[in-house]
Amino acid sequence: MLLTDRTAVVTGAGSGIGREIALGFAAEGARIAVLDRSREAGAVVVAELVAVGAREPVLAEVDVRSAAAVDEAIEEVAGVMGRIDILVNCAGVREIGDVYTMPAEEWENVIAINLSGTFYCCQSVARRMRETGGGSIVNLASVGGLIGLSHRPAYSAAKHGIVGLTKSLARDLASAGIRVNALCPGVIRTPMTEQYFSDASFEQELAVSVPLARCGETSDVAQAALYLASDMASYVTGVALPVDGGWLAEKSFVSGSGGASFLAGRETRFP
């Protein structure tokens, strides 16, 4: 197993991608600390971990907007588990709104959870990893951290910030043996995105706009996180890895099978 005898802290582990990562890492031998702002949701995941044979999972309720609360939770986890080898930052929210009318408090909440919360967790865990010989940090950014997404100014800004933070920390923490990488998921089916799929045309549009012709599943992101967290990626740090079915790789002016013929007659040809 890839994570035998490793201790992994997963924030936002109460649902969605965080839950899948916690369960997937446990299946690879890791001992898991579930961090979530909902104790009830976190307790459900801890019960799931116990049911699949995970070793003594730990639950800590935390609001990542507070640096003091984060440090208290990490101290609690480190005290129980002895050390922290892996941190995966999944806690996050998103907004959909008009830049002209977005309330300041909504902007501040998205930035506080997605960006500041990620930094607070990295900072607190890195202090402890430095004392125990290093580790691996995986931050959840988004394709919205690599391009600008319409009607998501706070989300896009925060996710771009996570990519920049990841690169900066990769440089600063390398001497302590700490690798820092980011994942940039595309459309992943989670409770937060489930409303998109209520429209029957949405998956048809995915089939046209995503080269792999489907949405992503939480397991797709969990497998990528496992790679970055494990020794398979021992010489990988500072990357922002898209997990998007190829969505970022190709953008056409038109969609569907007519794209090639549309462009073919309009390309500039040089002698």
CATH number of the domain where residue 214 is located: 3.40.50.720
Region 218-239: mean pLDDT is: 98
Predicted pLDDT at 259: 42
CA distances from 173 to 40, 169, 214, 237 (A): 34, 6, 37, 10
Would you say residue 181 lies in a domain?
Answer: yes
Give which of 13, 35, 237, 26 is closest to 137, Cα–Cα.
237
Would you say residue 94 lies in a domain?
Answer: yes
Cβ-contact 114, 155 below 8 angstroms: yes
Q: Which single residue is written with the structure tokens 């090639």? A: 260
The kind and range of the H/E element at 35 are: strand 31-36
Amino acid identity, position 201: S
Task: Identify the band that residue 261 occupies on the pLDDT scale cut at 50, 70 and 90.
Answer: very low
Q: What percent of the chain has pLDDT over 70?
A: 92
pLDDT(52) > 60: yes
Region 229-233: mean pLDDT is: 98
Domain that holds residue 61: 7-264
Contacts of 47 by beta carbon, 8 Å cutoff, 6+ apart: none
Confirm whether pTM is higher than 0.85. Answer: yes
Query: Computed over its alpha carbons, how large is the radius of gyration of the chain?
Result: 20
Would you say residue 269 lies in a domain?
Answer: no
Q: What percent of the chain has pLDDT over 90?
A: 80
Would you say residue 76 lies in a domain?
Answer: yes
pLDDT tens-digit map of 17-48: 999 999 999 999 999 999 999 999 999 999 99
3-state secondary structure of 135: strand
Task: Identify the band that residue 209 occupies on the pLDDT scale cut at 50, 70 and 90.
Answer: confident
Predicted pLDDT at 192: 78
Predicted pLDDT at 190: 85
pLDDT(7) > 60: yes
Spell out a b/e string for 57-72, using b for 16 or more CB atoms within 10 Å of the CB, else e.
bbbbbbebbeeebbbe
Domain count for the chain: 1
Predicted pLDDT at 53: 94
Would you say residue 271 lies in a domain?
Answer: no
Count of residues in the chain: 271
Q: Which single residue is written with the structure tokens 């997990």? A: 243
Region 109-121: mean pLDDT is: 98
Would you say residue 270 lies in a domain?
Answer: no
Would you say residue 2 lies in a domain?
Answer: no
Of the CA atoms within 13 Å of residue 208, those in its CB half-sphere come to: 12
Cβ-contact 247, 143 below 8 angstroms: yes
Catalytic residues: 155
Predicted pLDDT at 214: 87
127-132-138 Cα angle (round to 5)? 60
The kind and range of the H/E element at 117 are: helix 117-131
Would you say residue 1 lies in a domain?
Answer: no
Give which of 6, 116, 135, 13 is closest to 68, Cα–Cα.
116
